Amino acid sequence: AVEKLPWWIKQKEFWDFTTEMDWSAQKPFEYSIRNFNQHLSPKQAKQYNPRYTQVMEWRKTSKVPGFTHRDYAMKCGADTITLLSDLAGIDKNGESALYWTGSPKLMDVTPTPEEMGCPKYEATPEENLLMIRTFLKVCGASKVGAVPVDVKFKSTQPKFYADKIPLVYENVDKPYITRSKYVIPDRMKWAIVFSTEGGNDLTGRGNNWVGALGASLYSGGPSDYIQIQVQRFLKALGYSSVVSGICYNLQNWPAMGVASG
């Protein structure tokens, strides 16, 4: 898990890039703004849903390569994103319990150090990064880095985590959510950033059922699993965490990719 970088890559401080970047030029996206329907006339908006349903039904049984019955069956069987959502279960509000603090169905079976009769794990930041990188690579991540949760980090963050629900920091011990906010404890000081390899061959097949598996089977699906795995790992070590998910994001992906190296 020790990354061997090429000789021309220099050791830099966080946010001190070789190429200067003005992240303030990129404004945090507000998920409360739904832009799609703004480009449709009232007549088009009224026609959209029935037409979409008709097209989706055609895509399941047509004779066009990529949209046949067999292709759709492959998508249904191999799509790990929907599978994990089903495994995670539904929360008390009738929504997927997969993200943020983790599904009780998947998290409650993981013991805490107190339940195991031992102190929580503690080490230096360098040792912790090496440990978390090793764990994530075991689980299937390709690259792993970390970014401190500081003023710069928060400046690139979306104002909303989900549709019209603010993302806020509070002086609390553990993260939590309500109908009106998603809360991150001030004591959480580091964000772990990782990537997974995509399915280039599948993705290259285009916008059909088989092509869609390039993301869900090799990228989106595995990253969902890995996020849950690392939450369980950290809980067993004595720590709480929040995860981004792939639809609503805790951060600006390009900024985190560059800042974490």
Going from N- to C-terminal start, the domains of the chain cover 33-62, 63-259
User: pTM of the predicted model, to two decimals?
Assistant: 0.75
Dist. CA 233–CA 102, nearest whole Å: 12
Token couple for 39: 């480009």
Token couple for 215: 């993301």
- What is the strand order of the sheet 160-162 is part of? 160-162, 165-170, 182-185, 176-177
Dist. CA 63–CA 65, nearest whole Å: 6
Which H/E stretch holds residue 162? strand 160-162
Question: pLDDT 10s per residue in the chain (261 long)?
Answer: 566 778 877 777 778 777 787 877 776 655 555 556 667 777 877 777 787 778 778 877 788 888 888 888 877 777 766 667 667 665 555 555 566 777 777 788 889 999 999 999 999 989 999 999 999 999 888 889 999 999 888 888 877 776 677 888 999 998 888 888 889 999 999 999 998 887 777 777 777 777 777 766 666 667 878 888 888 899 999 998 988 765 556 777 788 888 887
- Between strands 182-185 and 176-177, the pairing is antiparallel
- Kindly report the backbone phi and psi dihedral angles of residue 252, in degrees, each rounded to the nearest multiple of 5, phi listed first: -80, 110
